[in-house]
Amino acid sequence: MTERGRVSYSTNRGREEYPGRSDSGRHGRTDGDRAARLTRPAEGGSAEGRASRRLEGRRPEGRRRAPGGGERPGRRAREQETGAVFGDPSETMAIGGMREPGGRRAAGGPGGPAGPGGGHGGRGGRGRRGRGGGGGDDGDGRFDGSHGFEDDEKPRKTGWRRFVPSWKILVAVFTIGFVAVGVLLAVMYSMTPLPSDSQAQASATARGSVIYYNDGKKVLARLGTKRTPINLTKDVPKHVQDAVLAAENRGFREEPGISVRGMTRALWSAVTGGEVTGASTITQQVARNYYEGLSQERALSRKIKEIFIAIKMDQEKSKDDILELYLNTIYFGRGAYGIEAASQAFFKKSVRKLTVEEAAYIAGRIQNPVAFDNAEAKGNYAPTEGRFHYVIKGLATMDPATYGKYVSTSSGQTESVAKFAKPKKNEVRNYFKGTTGYMVDLVLRELKEKQNLSRDEIDRGGYSITSTFDPDMMNAAKRAVEGKVKQFGKGVQASLAAVDPKNGRVLAFYGGPDYLKKPWNVSFDARKQAASAFKPYVLAAWLDNGWSLNSYLDGNNPVKLEGTNPIWNAGRKSWGSIDVTKATANSVNSVFAKMGEAVGLDKVVKIASEAGLDESRLKDAEGRHRYLITIGSAEVSAAEQATGYAAFANEGKHYDRHVVIEVKQLATKARIYREKRAFKQVFSPEVAADATYAMQQVVKAGTGTNAALADRPVAGKTGTNNESKEAWFVGYTPQLSTAVGMYKEIKDKKGQVKEVPLPGDIGGGAVPAMIWRDFMAEALKGKPVEQFPDPARVGDQHDLAPKPKPTPTVEPTDSPEDTLPTQPPQNDDGQCENWPFCDNEGGPDDDEGGNGNPDGPGDPGDPGNPGDPGPGNPGGPNDPGPGSEKQNNPWFYPDSRSRDGS
């Protein structure tokens, strides 16, 4: 039995009970109707009886129900189930308004003319409440049992099935979601612009720089990223292109920038735990590696953006353009970026000349270049050989007609029969090794100073840098120096620098034996007292002041000048009254001291600094040593001296010394820097001609005869410091100005570097002059012989001493005539006589001298020891340098020193 609410039905439908129901109004009956119905027995329990009653209650065909409960047009009248007489409220029971089990509440309203409870019940709905109508004009209310009982209803879901939505709902939700995602992706795609080439990543366009010798063709060094961009159609053969596609993306030319199949395969492998496979096309790799804003991190947002850019790139760029970007961007190993650099790195040839096998090898490396490098470094070529054969088979698959000969199918499977293209030995060249490193270092220094180009910018900027260095002269400098210096043993060092007088270019120099072992550049960084090699600047000041070479000065010992110790000639020799030319040839100290006094030290410093010497050091020497600067107390480098003497060789014109001619962009050939071509007229051509004439006499008959060249004129000057601790020869021809210096440094027991006398009392006219001669003979070999201009004989004769009576010609002495004297003047008590640097009482001028030469580029001076205001090389800014045991005696100049003592 089924119970719903409070209505009970017997299974044989012969009896209906409604215990205790009082809401008759809901069902269209009065209380009297319910009472009568409940007190009479059920009629017609049999099937026949029920049929008879239904026939009696049938309404005539076509009859419409009265308003309020009648049957709808065209709809058959419902059958009556009670058998009662029509319209008899005592016999009948209006069923049309009752709630049927499982049905919705009847939709019909109150009865028509027959009053409440009348009318034929409408058809019950299949929901919770029936659709029964209100009573009709005949007052019947029929109950259609075929639509009211719950055994006709669809079973309700129970258990977990109650929570499963209808498939129709699922389809609808999926469809809506799919459309929403599609719209979202479309919006994101439209909002993702294709970056311009100007937004390329720095790493994708990074290109190393090339430094050339002065001819602009011979490579001096390659720095930074190895990359040489190429043009696909002009430079890359088809078989090289095909090899790359066979290795990385065989469907490249047909795919729309992405590979759906590849991404699906990669996703499936990741989900199933299979081998991780790549899904990126060449276009996607270009998007990721070339454009800014796409990192290498594994993120969904980055991948989506990469896909969008790849699709747009495929639409807006040709396949050749994309492949060209790829081949110029991708890393192949051995530090090579781009196919051209890779071809050079692995096979020492241009990509234009690669064979099919070589192309297959290089293309195969793209997959994992670092791992392949590591394996090959250990002699294991199996990984790269495996990739090689993979590429070969890919080529045969892509184009059997062209590449089929490289595979065999005799075993039933496609096998590569191509011979493995083993790469050339990896030669890692360090451009800082040997003497090359000194040249590279000078170029980097100058670009930083003049163009503010850092090393990193040069490594990545792709510059073509033309240096001033002549490769043949550089080799000649190395041979000349090392051929003479090695015989003197450890600690003896020589510097050499050669400058073109007509433009200031440093054509050659000797910085040291090996930059990696000793980066200190002796020709640019080591600053030593110039000694008598400084005297030509005093001579130029004299001539520029309007006084001639024919002027006579007192050459006797000693000369006493204000604020300066008495100055003696070498060997304490007195020369009497002597003209300027002869005094220059024999390097007479007293004469040049008087010349400096006559013209003024300011003028001497001005000319020397304008010719190329460091002004700050000159002024420091002037302030400390006064007139001793005229005989060389200022510190100079070989490079400075070569530049200074170049003004004499070039009619008094000074060009700034430099080592870079120009800098261009490798890609565009656009010039971004060019050497300065302006010059400064330091003194007149006439002054230069007369000074040159005087310095020619030094080589012809004076202290510098060892520098004479057999085939051309030479002018120059020697210089030797006290105790032969420093020796110079600086000279020139019309084409080339060269300075050579020598010194010796050792480490004491405390590890401190100190300067000591050169072996054999070497003077400037000895070994330095010989090195100069050897270098110049080779450097100028084959070059035209140029003559110096004739002396101009300008200026007035300004005699500071009476013209001497004719005497026999004095031959040059074998001793170093231009050295400083070896003994200080003493008074009758044997003490130093009223000199600023005397150490008579052990005060602040004792032997605790500081050490170190002035700071070189990037090299701090050694700390000075306290209490030494005496003359010496500054160990820091304005700090006196180290002294020997006689350092405070002006006759014994304190040791100058470089920073690379051995």
* Separation between Cα atoms, residue 637 and residue 496, nearest integer Å: 9
Q: Residue 782's pLDDT band (boundaries 50, 70, 90)? A: very high
Alpha carbon 11 to its chain's center: 95
Give CA–CA dist 341/233, Å, rounded: 17
Q: Which residue has the higher pLDDT, 899 or 734?
A: 734
Q: Which backbone phi and psi does 507 adopt, to 5 degrees?
A: -85, -30
Among 35-39, 148-152, 629-633, top mean pLDDT goes to: 629-633
CA 240 – CA 261 distance, rounded (Å): 25
Which residue would you say has higher pLDDT here, 798 or 819?
798
Q: What pLDDT does residue 897 have?
A: 31
pLDDT tens track for 738-758? 999 999 999 888 888 899 999
Closest listed residue to residue 621, CA positions, set 638, 645, 596, 644: 596
Of 294-298, 325-329, 514-518, which range is least confident?
Answer: 294-298
Which helix (DSSP H) or strand (DSSP E) does residue 450 occupy? helix 436-451
Position 391 confidence tier, pLDDT thresholds 50, 70, 90:
very high
Q: How far apart are CA 254 and CA 881, in angstroms?
A: 76
Q: Are 716 and 642 in contact (CB under 8 A)?
A: no
Mean pLDDT over 800-809 rounds to: 77
CA dihedral 749, 753, 754, 759 (to 10 degrees): 90
Mean pLDDT, residues 97-110 taken together = 42
Predicted confidence at residue 884, as pLDDT, reads 32
Average pLDDT over residues 756-769: 93
pLDDT of 393 over the 70 cut? yes
Contact 510, 759 (CB under 8 A): no
Closest CA to 837 of 897, 875, 878, 880: 880
- CA pair distance 108, 119, nearest whole angstrom: 9
Interval 828-842 mean pLDDT: 34
Radius of gyration over alpha carbons of the chain, in Å?
A: 55
Instruction: Convert the pLDDT of each residue in 305-317 to its tens digit.
Output: 677 677 877 777 8
- pLDDT value at position 27? 43
pLDDT tens, position by position, 558-578: 999 998 989 999 889 999 999
- Contacts with 453 (C-beta within 8 Å, 6 or more apart), sequence order: 447, 461, 463, 663
Nearest to 266 by CA among 205, 315, 307: 307
What would the mean pLDDT of 101-127 be, rounded to a whole number?
42
Mean pLDDT of 20-30: 43
Distances from the Cα of 418 to the Cαs of 250, 388, 562, 577, in angstroms? 20, 9, 91, 92
pLDDT, position 410: 87
Q: 655 versus 862: which is more confidently predicted? A: 655
Residue 98 pLDDT level (bands cut at 50, 70, 90): very low
Question: Is pTM beyond 0.75 here?
Answer: no
